[in-house]
Structure 1
């Protein structure tokens, strides 16, 4: 006869461990984003201060640098990927490109349609893009599966 009792304590502990691992992975992903942003701003500041190029180009070059930092840190630290860079890098940078578009669309909508101030719009946009990027990179780029 099958039991209809609640799940065993071991099942609950296993689910809790996976939930904690997911939270830690998300926190690591967000921290990696801070490192990538720092790299972007460092390149931007350096190029502008030595008059190597204008701020817009310097920001673009810094953004590419930040994306590369983010990719490598996420590959090794956040997701501990086993798949080859040939598989993960194109996926990661596809997600990054979509994220840039999402960032632009949300900023436009929040500022021009909802009349938000740019700092508030950017904060909300950043949170949305962070959740989007983490979700897609977890499920597609690095294929993290919870048990």
Structure 2
């Protein structure tokens, strides 16, 4: 029985690692966002800044630990940035929609939006940014 679970973990290790990086990015981004909002910055600016902090962490860990990509840093970084700019645009639009139109709490809205954008971000990075040659 133990061997069955061990083989399952090995089979899905890359996804597990990506998920762990995602959790760390989410925590880093949410903590950064909360601090920046509490400092009085406009929540949209806070979202962009916090997203940038999480993005740097994500690139480093995904390139070196998750995908162990041997592709050039420059090419991979450009793809990664493009994917994340798309995700940031979606995140910012959805955050604005949730807070300004729907009236959700700024922190709750950030959590909801993060979960929605996570799926897009994972797929694009897995299939394009860190795809090995």
Please give the TM-score of this superposition, normalised by the length of structure 2.
0.65
Using the TM superposition, give the Cα deviation of residue 94 of structure 1 relative to its aligned residue in structure 2, in angstroms.
Answer: 1.1
Paired residue for 1:117, among 104, 110, 120? 104
Give RMSD over aligned pairs.
3.8
Q: Does 1:34 align with 2:32?
A: no
Question: 2:96, 2:40 → 1: CA distance?
Answer: 24
Identify the range of structure 1 (99-108 vs 88-97) with the bigger mean alpha-carbon deviation: 99-108
Q: Which aligned segments of 4 or more residues in structure 1 are displaced greater than 6 angstroms?
A: none
Unaligned ranges ≥5, structure 1: 1-15, 48-52
Structure 2 residue runs without a partner (length 5+): 1-6
Q: Shift of the alpha carbon at 1:29? A: 2.1
Q: 1:92 to 1:110 in 2, by over 3 A?
A: same
C-alpha contact (below 8 Å) 1:43/1:58 kept by paired residues: yes
Equivalences, count = 122
Q: CA deviation at 1:117?
A: 2.9
Q: Which has the higher helix share?
A: 2
Q: Within 2, Cα distance between the matches of 1:77 and 1:132?
A: 21
Change (3 A) 1:143 1:116: farther
Give the corresponding residue for 2:96: 108
Higher alpha-carbon Rg: 1
TM-score by length of 1: 0.60
Q: 2: CA distance between counterparts of 1:70 and 1:92?
A: 9
